[in-house]
Amino acid sequence: MALIMIADDDPDICDLVQFQLEQNGFEVAVANDGAKAIELARDRPPDLAILDVSMPGLSGLDVCRLLREEPTTASTRIIMLTTRIHEQDLEAGFNVGADDYLPKPFSLRELSQRVNVLIASTRR
Amino acid sequence: VDGGGAVILVLSILAAIALGTIVITLITRVVRLRRTRRRDRLVAGPRKRLVALLVGGDDGGLDQLAGLSPAQWRALEPIAVTMLEKVSGNARHTLALLFERQGVIARALADLRRSRFYNRANAAETLGTLHCRAALPDLGSLLNASNEEMRVVALRALGRIGDPAYAEAMLDTLVHDPTTPASLVAYTLHQLGQQASPTLLHGMDHPSPQVRLAAITAVQLLGAPGSPGVCTRVAHALRTDESTAVRQRAAEALGRLGTQVALVALLDATSATTQTPAVRAAAVSGLGTLGARAAVAPLCVLLGDDEYSVAHAAARSLLRLGPEGRTALRDRSTGADRAAAHAAEAFAITTLGDRRLEGPATIPTARRIPVLHEST
């Protein structure tokens, strides 16, 4: 069973995404800030991480960069969730190694499909 | 009462006041805490059900949530409202259905016509958040309300609902009341999407500079010319508009629109003697936003401009033009003139940026993460 990590300081988003992904048969780990996300990822590298860009302390971009630096998490697929949708924000996300970007408000079904595509790509 | 007695009396009164304040504060906190706990208890079950419903994992959830007691719904409603702003698609549609079943929409539509500002403003916010099209006529009327705050709330609600038929009325609020922030009008207009482009095009010809500014700002926020002629019209505004603010905004907008017309207009504006330094600097920044390699050579020339803001913007824009811009900056940074100083400053910043990207991210000391050992 693929492990997906969600890092978002908004408990509503965490609950919604966790419920959605568990319904789809994934195992889900939740972190409410960036530091906790790094701890979780180091403890057990996820197949995919969904990161909120704006979190207190370590931002989603920082977490993404750190995950890419760790040999154990360098190949983890990463989706950034954000309300920042300007070109430079997208560019910043892709520059630190994000695989995909989803602006808030987002469709749970769309997120689910993007997760499926990225997880499938890790298994090819 | 002698002197000592008076002091004791005053001290006693002060002590009584302090004690009373402490007691009142404690009671207030206890009451609030109990209220919060009661609300948390009330909402725990319905919240779980709401999450399941939005994910599509609870078929009977809508009926159950629609049948919540008034106290439970009062506790759940703020959570449901905040979720409305976080999800789209089916989940949002389901939430809107829930609000309708709970009678929220009917109540808000009625409140929109009440005399108290508080009721009308709350109702407008709710209906806007719910994208309730039935509220459009009343919200449109509220754009002419005598209360300035009410007009702003109605604007925001109309922007959220996103019907381009109201674009002209939204722009006209700036004519009726010039104190309405043009940036707010522009933001709400951009929420209407590309369908508002024809109205924005007309807005750029309006006699009021505020209206022209809002129209061009909305085009900038949209980031693409939605109608034929929009880019040419913005370029025309950059060349000829009598308002400096409008010309400056036109330069910024052209940078985002990214067409050949924009490139030519921006290059012209960087060296036009009729333009103010602020507009020239905005045009130079626009070239960086545009990202055209053809701008590298003209920007290198502008590094030596007498106006600090223009030269500084040229250096920053070169940074944004990719490897060619950086190479040009590096080559230009070795001299001893003003241009070299601007180039060196910008180049130093990009070097810092590169190092940050290559090196580990900064981790706040107070929350430092344990070092990862090879074995983990």
Contact B55 A96 (CB under 8 A): no
User: What one-character-per-residue DSSP string does B227-272 give?
Assistant: STTHHHHHHHHHHH-S-HHHHHHHHHHHHHH--HHHHHHHHHHHH-
Query: Phi/psi of residue A78, each to 5°?
Result: -130, 130
The reply to whether omega before B360 is within 30° of 0 (cis) is no
Alpha-carbon span B261 to B259, nearest angstrom: 5
pLDDT of residue B271: 87
* Backbone region of residue B322 per phi and psi (left: phi > 0; alpha: psi in -120 to 50; beta: other values): left
Q: Exposure string (b/e) for B152-174, b if CB count within 10 Å is 16 or more?
A: bbbbbbbbbbbbbebbebbbbbb
pLDDT digits (tens, 9 = 90+) for B226-246: 666 888 999 999 999 999 999
Nearest by CB: A16 against B54, B90, B364: B54
A105 Cβ under 8 Å from any chain B Cβ: yes
pLDDT of residue B347: 82
Query: Phi/psi of residue B19, each to 5°?
Result: -65, -45
Which pTM was predicted? 0.74
Closest CA of chain B from A14, distance in Å: 10
* CA A27 to the chain's CA centroid: 14
Alpha-carbon span B311 to B280, nearest angstrom: 10
Interface test with B, best of A6, A14, A15 (most B CBs within 10 A): A15
* Backbone region of residue B56 per phi and psi (left: phi > 0; alpha: psi in -120 to 50; beta: other values): left
Nearest by CB: B86 against A20, A62, A105: A105
User: Which element (helix H / strand E) includes A50?
Assistant: strand A48-52
Burial class (CB in 10 A: 0-12, 13-18, 19+), B315: buried
**pLDDT values of chain B reduced to their tens digit, one per residue, 376 residues:** 577 888 999 999 999 999 999 999 999 999 999 988 988 888 889 999 999 999 886 678 899 999 999 989 988 998 898 888 889 999 999 999 999 999 999 999 999 999 899 999 999 999 999 999 999 999 999 999 988 899 999 999 999 999 999 999 999 999 888 888 899 999 999 999 888 988 999 999 999 999 999 999 999 988 776 666 888 999 999 999 999 999 999 999 999 887 888 999 999 999 888 899 999 999 999 999 888 889 999 999 999 999 999 999 999 999 888 889 989 988 988 888 889 999 998 888 777 765 443 333 333 333 333 333 333 3
ipTM of the complex as predicted: 0.85
A68 Cβ under 8 Å from any chain B Cβ: no
* CA B270 to the chain's CA centroid: 29
Query: Phi/psi of residue A49, each to 5°?
Result: -125, 135
CA dihedral (B331, B335, B339, B342) in degrees, to 10, reads 80
CA distances from A109 to A102, B79, B87, B89 (A): 12, 21, 10, 8
According to DSSP, residue B192 is labeled T
pLDDT digits (tens, 9 = 90+) for A66-117: 999 999 999 999 999 988 666 667 777 788 889 999 988 899 999 999 999 9
Contact A39 B85 (CB under 8 A): no
In this structure, the strands spanning A77-82 and A48-52 are parallel
A108 Cβ under 8 Å from any chain B Cβ: yes
The 3-state DSSP class for residue B124 equals helix
Cβ neighbours of A65 in B, within 8 Å: 357, 361
CB B218 within 8 A of CB B197: no
Q: Among residues B242, B244, B298, B312, which one has the least CA distance to residue B266?
A: B298
Q: Crossing angle for the helix pair B90-101 and B104-111, nearest 10 degrees? A: 70
Nearest by CB: B361 against A12, A15, A66: A66
pLDDT of residue B354: 56
Q: Encoding tokens for residue B119?
A: 């009721």
The 3-state DSSP class for residue B346 equals helix
One-letter amino acid for residue B149 of the chain: E
